[in-house]
């Protein structure tokens, strides 16, 4: 019985230890100006977020897809809200603008 319990715990711990982690450098833009440059450490498949009250709220999820990254984001600035999805290459910036609101992202894998 103890062996089964130990094996289950080992799988649980080793499974979470194998999750890929990404370093995401971000530029948040409003009216063609960069208003913030946060950096997030995002675990694959999990949502990470950052916010500054009365300025912006940002959340994102990253999943590896072949040799690229599928990124789902949601950004709120004042009354504006955008939810772009991007397919990005590693270490290459990708940008999206909707009206006056936008993001520039660069993703690198963490070891």
| Phi and psi angles of residue 70, each rounded to the nearest 5 degrees, phi first | -95, 120
Supply the pTM of this predicted model: 0.79
Q: List, run by run, the mean pLDDT of 10-residue segments along the chain (111 residues).
A: 44 58 96 95 96 94 95 94 95 95 94 75
d(CA 23, CA 56): 20
Give whole-number Cα distances, 98 to 54, 57, 80, in Å. Answer: 20, 16, 9
Give whole-number Cα distances, 5 to 2, 13, 24, in Å. Answer: 5, 12, 37
Q: Which of 4, 29, 51 is nearest to 99 (CA)?
A: 29
Q: What is the pLDDT of residue 78?
A: 87
Q: What is the pLDDT of residue 11?
A: 42
Please answer whether residues 21 and 31 qualify as being in contact, where contact means their C-beta atoms are separated by less than 8 angstroms: no
């Amino acid at each position: 019985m103890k062996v089964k319990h130990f094996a289950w715990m080992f799988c649980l711990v080793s499974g979470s230890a194998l999750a890929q982690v990404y370093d995401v450098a971000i530029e948040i833009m409003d009216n063609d100006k960069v208003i913030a440059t946060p950096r997030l450490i995002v675990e694959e498949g999990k949502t990470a977020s950052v916010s500054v009250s009365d300025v912006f709220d940002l959340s994102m999820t990253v999943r590896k897809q072949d040799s690229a990254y599928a990124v789902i984001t949601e950004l709120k600035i004042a009354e504006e809200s955008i939810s772009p999805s991007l397919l990005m290459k590693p270490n290459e910036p990708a940008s999206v603008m909707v009206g006056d609101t936008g993001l520039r992202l660069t993703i690198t894998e963490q070891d």
